[in-house]
Amino acid sequence: MDCRVVVEAAVPVYDVETADEAVRIAISKTGEMLNPDLNYVEISMGERCCPECGAESEPAFIAADEGLVALDLEMTVFNVERDEHAARIARKEIGQRLQNIPLEVDEVEVIEEGEEADNESDEDDLTEDISVEEANVEDGQGEGEDDALPEFEDLIDE
């Protein structure tokens, strides 16, 4: 089974004046720590709400030009037995790259078979587009022969 896991991270930022600036810096900082190893993790602003009244507030808390930003990190984990297993894998993979940043698993959603079929059909459409483009190049309708990449066998012969 495959699962989509959302992990909340509390990212500290320094020398910021506004919540928007803090969010931009936190997303950039987190992206740098995750890339290139985990470039498939989606980073978005988290949601903070008051525990007493439930009112939503900005994802960043600023005090004395320092901030703490709530970010949601979403990734898909493949071939797991249970949703708890997917949560542990996601937290471990993300936690290894985000040193000294607290993480909490927010949501684990099982990806249904129908969703996978939709993704595969999108990939099939992309494959068809590439095949048509390759056929046009071979027929001389696309780029010139000089611009085309050499075949693998030709590279080996050289």
The pTM is what? 0.67
Same domain flag for 18 and 37: yes
Same domain flag for 31 and 88: yes
Buried b (16+ CB within 10 A) or exposed e, 7-32: bbbebebeebeebeebbebbbebbee
Same domain flag for 104 and 35: yes
Q: Residue 147: its pLDDT value, please? A: 52
**Separation between Cα atoms, residue 135 and residue 154, nearest integer Å:** 19
- CATH assignment of the domain containing 51: 3.30.70
**Separation between Cα atoms, residue 32 and residue 60, nearest integer Å:** 19
**Separation between Cα atoms, residue 92 and residue 77, nearest integer Å:** 12
Q: What does the pLDDT profile of the chain (158 residues) look like in tens digits? A: 899 999 999 999 999 999 999 999 999 999 999 988 888 899 988 887 777 787 788 888 899 989 999 999 999 999 988 889 999 999 999 999 998 899 999 999 998 876 554 554 444 444 444 444 444 444 454 444 455 565 656 666 65
Same domain flag for 27 and 100: yes
Domain that holds residue 136: 112-145
Same domain flag for 27 and 94: yes
- Backbone Cα Rg of the chain: 22
Q: How many domains does the chain have?
A: 2
**Separation between Cα atoms, residue 91 and residue 69, nearest integer Å:** 18
Same domain flag for 86 and 140: no
For the record, the structure tokens of 144 come out as: 């010139």
Examine residue 151 and state whether it is found in any structural domain, yes or no. no
